[in-house]
Structure 1
Amino acid sequence: MNYKWKLEPPTPEKLEAAERLSKELNISPILGRLLIERNITTVADAKKFFRPSLTELYDPFMFTDMDKAVERLNKALGRKERIMVYGDYDVDGCTAVALVYKFLQQYYSNIDYYIPDRYEEGYGVSVKGIDYAYESGVKLIIVLDCGIKAVDEIAYAKEKGIDFIICDHHVPDEILPPAVAILNAKRFDSTYPYPHLSGCGVGFKFMQAFAQSNGIEFSQLIPLLDLCAVSIASDIVPIMGENRILAYHGLRQLNANPSIGLKAIIDVCGLSERELTISDIIFKIGPRINASGRIQNGKEAVALLVEKDYQTAHEMAEQINRYNDMRKDLDKSMTEEANSIVEKLDKQSEQRSIVIYNEEWHKGVIGIVASRLTEIYYRPSVVLTRTDNLATGSARSVSGFDVYKAIESCRDLLENFGGHTYAAGLSMKVENVPEFHRRFEAYVETHILPEQTSAILNIDAQIDFKDITHKFHHDLKKFNPFGPDNTKPLFCTQHVYDYGTSKVVGREQEHIKLELVDNKSNNVMNGIAFGQSSQARYIKTKRSFDICYTIEENTHKRGEVQLQIEDIRPSGKE
């Protein structure tokens, strides 16, 4: 991919503020600048950022309807009503269901959980699920990570004498469902100060409020934070504000004392001997939980996450790992097919978006294929397949472009849709696909900015190898956990040289293992450039080049710094 490097020099005011803050904190001025860019301007704010405290969590009763939700749940327990915890089949939904179910099960036994079948029921609250609840004698359904648009379904449940409490974080429509309580910080009348919680995060706040109302110590909630961290990382929500607190302490829980189900997944992934990061969740743990709902049924993932016996959990994790292998095979073949379709489309280079439909594609993997196309072509992408008489699909977006609004602009063509800025799901009549394609493209062409259609590396700072000391790396690690709104800092260094020992590695000789020097220090820096073996010939010419990279800890040699190189270009090239 041809990246554009973007480095905006800091203003004199920001430089002065960064210098002052770095002295007060005894950190590098480079890191002081990173704090200023994150609107952290005082020592007190920096300490809160570096050491997020659970005492800084907002009062859950600031949520609109939280008092109603807690009152209805307490009433259900008092009446010994049967309760169902219902959630979406993705990672966020499964972790949310596991969290609420595990916590309530400690105090109440007449409770069950339900995950709709992706293929038979589709996304969200289904009539089949409501009928199952009714036949099971359920009087209260707590729905997580979906439900905000289920107006008709929840009205149907109400006719059957079933109440709903909705815990969702997706954008609502003007008409809200007739639920007893709707916990959603994105509703127009929300009184909650933080709108970016994951679905699991909303479930956690509900349990926090329930605990407060019943005199249960907050410490009883801490073992559930590992599930919050998994949901926050996997659902790609901002990792600032309240999410940062939950993710920070969730990662600590995941590393120190994970739940039995997550421990089994960690062991199956081969991650048990290392400190887990947000990246490990995104690339290893999350996809395995997701694979259950993509290939089979998400209920298996919840069963694993609430399992109390390690041996049983390990067997379940092995099964989910097999689903993930199947998912990877499907993903690879479908992405290749999708690529060939995109490449053959007339005037594709002039299109600002991608919309493709193939009724043979596996519904469980189309979201991943949409993500792959967005990464490859840097355009908002919609991938559709056929489910019964409808075209159903997933959309993914590029940085800064709201794909949810683009889909919403075509709502009269749709049977259903939902999601948020960077990811959405939708369904329509098959005959509407061509018109949807035309109108979606027209909206994107009108609203997308030129810089959003290029692969841009937003560089935080230009530094030299002499700046990368052990203290610098130690202080940089305090910026964890990384994610949206707190992205991993990207650095560049100019005029570096091969030390003479760099080599091509990998099963297909696709990566470069680098040993580099610059002309300002004697430091020899180790680096890895994944998928960039085409640059090896230039590197070996002994001419200087520039690198753009993140700073990582070598997973094989603890404490040793390694540069993960995102791009390489000859020095002097813009």
Structure 2
Amino acid sequence: MGDPVLQWQVYGDSEVPEAFVQAVKQQAPGIEGRYLPQLLWQRGIREVERLAGYLFAASYQPTSAIAFGKEMQWAVQRLVQAIERDETIAIWGDFDADGVTSTAVLWDGLGQFFPQHEKLFYYIPNRLTESHGLSKTGIDQLKHVHLIVTCDTGSTNLDEIQYAQSLGIDVIVTDHHTLPELRLPVIAIVNPRSLDQNHPFASLSGVAVAYKLVEALYEALPDVPEKPIEQLLDLVAIGLIADLVELKGDCRYLAQKGIEQLQKQSTKEATRPGITRLLELCKRSGDRPTDISFGLGPRINAVSRIQGDAHFCVELLTSQDVQRCRELAEQTELANTRRKALQKDVLQQAKAKLSQLDLSTTGVIVLWDEQWSAGVLGLVAGQIAQEYGKPTILLTIDGEFARGSARSTNQIDLYQLVKDQEHLLHRFGGHPFAAGLSLAIDNLELFAQAINQRLLQSSEPPIPTIQADLCVTVSELNLELYKEIRLIEPCGMGNPIPKLLIRNCWFQAGRNTKLQDFRGRKVEYIRTPFTIWDETVEKGFPGIWWGHYAYELPSGRCDAIVELENNVQQKRYEVRLIAVRACEQVNVAAQSQWLLDWRSDRTTEDALPPAHGNVLELKTAPANWIEFQTWFRRAIHQQRPLAIAYPPPTLMPAAEIWQTLVGIAKYLSRTGKTATRQQLYDRLHIGDVALKAGIQALEQFGFQVTYADQRFRMTLKDSDQSVNAAIEQFFTAVREEQFYRQYFAQVPFSTLQAVVAQWDIPTRN
């Protein structure tokens, strides 16, 4: 009963307008445009005028901090007043990655105006003994300050704010969590939840709001800061991507700019030795959002999950003491190692409890156990929510109370679901995708029943689904696909990492291994390396299945959903396996009827099915599977059968083709004439990939090659004979194309039929 049954969905292969495809290629001239236009179109990025700003941060016009309105003005006025009066300020943060980086941004940013440790202090609650938000106990430790500035917290802490005011302490709230119906009695509350949902700031996380406050103060007092505000953006990127917020508008822009800054931390331009050491420990370079979501973010979160107290994380992120930062980074790494083992244990125990439930009648998964570590409950809840397709709440028992974390899925507003049971709760807070809560243990059973009933009353039970963005073959898992996927990064809520469906594939599993920490000790967390194969390749493609054993991989043909990654450590591309299932029964005749074999003597019209009229002929053996699929898609779109009518290929030695190409280039240079792409294809008997490699070799050989009005112009500038590496790359491309041309000339027709039957290409009635 407990096994999840996820419904697989694939985005329809909707026709992307050619004008949009060309616009995308114009904005990103280094790509071929096979995948990116489709991904953008599916994600609602369809206005040509938005493309440049979406793809490239340099083309986006960021929104000024003053767009927050009067609340931001009031916050800045109070901070300027504190500077003029030489007052003492305390930053009140939170213990997760967004809260820690928010605190670090204010610590560094406000530290340009207030002496740190003299007039500026920070406080972060203990995850294991305190909860999110302000507390009277913590405020008692800050009686000496005149002003508290919260970050990533505080929007619902009315009682605590009134207590601070009774002590003569003013409060500025910066946060992104759900607002109460009535405005808090504070100096200012800067929170994007007060803005329209289409506002460029609508999805900012806590760290981004904190950054905007610093930005506004920099603009008010531009002569004071000694460090450029851009140096804070790496911290902003870490908090944004580690938190569950939608990366759109200024949120996406800040993440893009932040990753540019983060990359510097693994170079000689590094300004944060703590981040530099963390990147070393997680074997990442900081140039990808996944370096945060799978590297830095979990490590920063692990400190409070394991130790409770996250204060030293701010020091780790902001200190310039290299030796101290190395020590703190290694403590962080050890905490993360312990976190992985705890997470694995709790996940196994939670799944054992799930096996006793009837999931067909369960809308929200609610589980609890007095032995569970509170620090990893949010992580495990997120795993279960994703795997089972249902909102998940996990709690641990602490005295008379149960407290824990909730994670949502399938766009269900979990915050509202929990809030509807507020009468049963002791405390709660969060946003639609994640929440924290506590309640009396006597209310647990009633809470679980009530929240399930509430979901079922408000909507149909959600169907657990996993969405694939593109249907590809193993041969398409290459640099071109990777380049185009990278352009939609950073990924997150509302813009997930593209998931790739590979049909009719099979696996060759390696030996599952346990991870090792930086000291070489085994970690109780497993991964299984594998290679994935299909009919389009003669060599398997590498991949990793995290948290699974080798025996769990199916032995026969199957369908798989994967994500394409760049493994910087091993200098290769690989896939991360997301889901796998046995192959569905495919109606081969339905799609393969559009394919005809005219490679032998069947070249007469009577070989055609009478209902189909004219035919599209493929007269040259394809140089790869992508080219063959492109022809097949064209045939389907035109409602014409595709006849493979090519003769055995003409295979010239690669060196001879190179000499011919050089001769053509010299002729064009001498005469001033031009050549079309098709003329070069026909003369050299090569395809697009080899031609591109040949052009690159010519450019190193001394030719200037330009392409305009669909024609090549070549001019010899300065001959350079030391181009062996480029020529060898050309030879390799030619030989690979020739291999495939021979393959397509000889492959059994039944194999081609089986392959095209697996492609997700809709036919029109």
Which stretch has the larger CA shift, 203-212 or 392-401? 392-401
Distance change >3 Å, CA 447–CA 533, structure 1 → 2? farther
Amino acid at match of 1:244: R
2:568 corresponding residue in structure 1: 555
Of the three residues 279, 294, 298, the one matched with 1:283 is: 294
Distance change >3 Å, CA 189–CA 178, structure 1 → 2? farther
1:318 corresponding residue in structure 2: 330
Distance change >3 Å, CA 243–CA 449, structure 1 → 2? farther
Distance change >3 Å, CA 113–CA 477, structure 1 → 2? same
Of the three residues 4, 9, 16, the one matched with 1:6 is: 9
Alignment check: 8 A CA contact 1:208 1:218 kept: no
Of the three residues 232, 238, 241, the one matched with 1:230 is: 238
Amino acid at match of 2:404: G
Of the three residues 55, 61, 79, the one matched with 2:85 is: 79
1:194 corresponding residue in structure 2: 201
Residue 486 (structure 1) shift: 1.8
Residue 66 (structure 1) shift: 0.4
Structure 1 counterpart SS, 2:336: helix
Distance change >3 Å, CA 228–CA 29, structure 1 → 2? same
Residue 343 (structure 1) shift: 2.6
TM-score when normalising by structure 1: 0.89
Structure 2 counterpart SS, 1:56: coil
1:433 corresponding residue in structure 2: 444
The one-character-per-residue Cα deviations of 1:432-489 (angstroms, maximum 9, x if unpaired) are 2222111111112233544x442x3312222345655544432332222222222222
Amino acid at match of 1:314: R
1:21 corresponding residue in structure 2: 23
Which stretch has the larger CA shift, 365-374 or 507-516? 507-516
Alignment check: 8 A CA contact 2:90 2:148 kept: yes
Distance change >3 Å, CA 495–CA 268, structure 1 → 2? closer
Alignment check: 8 A CA contact 1:171 1:187 kept: no
Amino acid at match of 1:84: A
Structure 2 counterpart SS, 1:121: coil
Residue 503 (structure 1) shift: 4.1
In 1, distance between residues paired with 2:369 and 2:551? 34
In 1, distance between residues paired with 2:574 and 2:236? 29
Of the three residues 154, 162, 165, the one matched with 2:169 is: 162
Structure 1 counterpart SS, 2:405: strand
Residue 330 (structure 1) shift: 2.9
Residue 119 (structure 1) shift: 3.5
Amino acid at match of 1:338: A
Amino acid at match of 2:453: A
Alignment check: 8 A CA contact 1:535 1:568 kept: no
Alignment check: 8 A CA contact 1:88 1:144 kept: yes
Residue 411 (structure 1) shift: 1.1
Amino acid at match of 2:10: L
Distance change >3 Å, CA 73–CA 237, structure 1 → 2? same
Of the three residues 524, 538, 548, the one matched with 2:555 is: 538
Alignment check: 8 A CA contact 2:53 2:59 kept: no
Alignment check: 8 A CA contact 1:527 1:565 kept: no
Alignment check: 8 A CA contact 1:86 1:113 kept: yes
Which stretch has the larger CA shift, 396-405 or 464-473? 464-473
1:52 corresponding residue in structure 2: 57
1:33 corresponding residue in structure 2: 38
TM-score when normalising by structure 2: 0.68
In 2, distance between residues paired with 1:170 and 1:138? 25
Alignment check: 8 A CA contact 1:493 1:547 kept: yes
Residue 252 (structure 1) shift: 1.5
Amino acid at match of 1:31: L
Alignment check: 8 A CA contact 2:389 2:410 kept: no
Distance change >3 Å, CA 202–CA 514, structure 1 → 2? same
Residue 532 (structure 1) shift: 7.1
Alignment check: 8 A CA contact 1:550 1:565 kept: yes
Alignment check: 8 A CA contact 1:167 1:184 kept: yes
1:113-512 aligned within 5 A: 113-134=122-143, 137-187=144-194, 193-215=200-222, 220-257=228-265, 258=270, 259-271=272-284, 274-296=285-307, 297-345=309-357, 347-447=358-458, 449-450=460-461, 452-454=462-464, 456-464=465-473, 467=476, 470-496=479-505, 502-507=508-513, 511-512=528-529
Distance change >3 Å, CA 312–CA 484, structure 1 → 2? same
Q: Identity over aligned residues, as a percent?
A: 29
Residue 571 (structure 1) shift: 4.7
Which stretch has the larger CA shift, 93-102 or 430-439? 430-439
The one-character-per-residue Cα deviations of 1:268-312 (angstroms, maximum 9, x if unpaired) are 3333xx454222212221122112222320112122222220110
Distance change >3 Å, CA 407–CA 569, structure 1 → 2? closer
Structure 2 counterpart SS, 1:538: coil
The one-character-per-residue Cα deviations of 1:103-130 (angstroms, maximum 9, x if unpaired) are 2213321101111223433221010121
Structure 2 counterpart SS, 1:528: strand
Amino acid at match of 2:204: L
Distance change >3 Å, CA 28–CA 112, structure 1 → 2? same
1:70 corresponding residue in structure 2: 76
User: 5+ residue gaps in structure 2?
Assistant: 515-525, 587-765
Distance change >3 Å, CA 414–CA 291, structure 1 → 2? same
Structure 2 counterpart SS, 1:505: coil
In 2, distance between residues paired with 1:483 and 1:190? 18
Amino acid at match of 1:5: W
2:706 corresponding residue in structure 1: none
Q: How many residues align?
A: 556
Alignment check: 8 A CA contact 1:149 1:176 kept: no
Alignment check: 8 A CA contact 1:391 1:430 kept: yes
Which stretch has the larger CA shift, 193-202 or 321-330? 321-330
Structure 2 counterpart SS, 1:252: helix
In 2, distance between residues paired with 1:268 and 1:255? 15
1:516 corresponding residue in structure 2: 533
Alignment check: 8 A CA contact 1:401 1:448 kept: no
Distance change >3 Å, CA 158–CA 470, structure 1 → 2? same
Residue 229 (structure 1) shift: 0.9
Amino acid at match of 2:43: R
The answer to which structure, 1 or 2, has the higher relative contact order (CA under 8 A, 6+ apart) is: 1
Structure 2 counterpart SS, 1:344: coil
Distance change >3 Å, CA 190–CA 60, structure 1 → 2? farther
Structure 1 counterpart SS, 2:451: helix
Amino acid at match of 2:263: N
Residue 39 (structure 1) shift: 2.8
Residue 93 (structure 1) shift: 0.7
Structure 1 counterpart SS, 2:153: coil
Amino acid at match of 2:364: S
Residue 206 (structure 1) shift: 0.3
Amino acid at match of 1:103: G
Distance change >3 Å, CA 388–CA 82, structure 1 → 2? farther
Of the three residues 89, 99, 113, the one matched with 2:95 is: 89
Alignment check: 8 A CA contact 2:231 2:261 kept: yes
Alignment check: 8 A CA contact 2:195 2:202 kept: no
Residue 156 (structure 1) shift: 1.1
Amino acid at match of 1:60: A
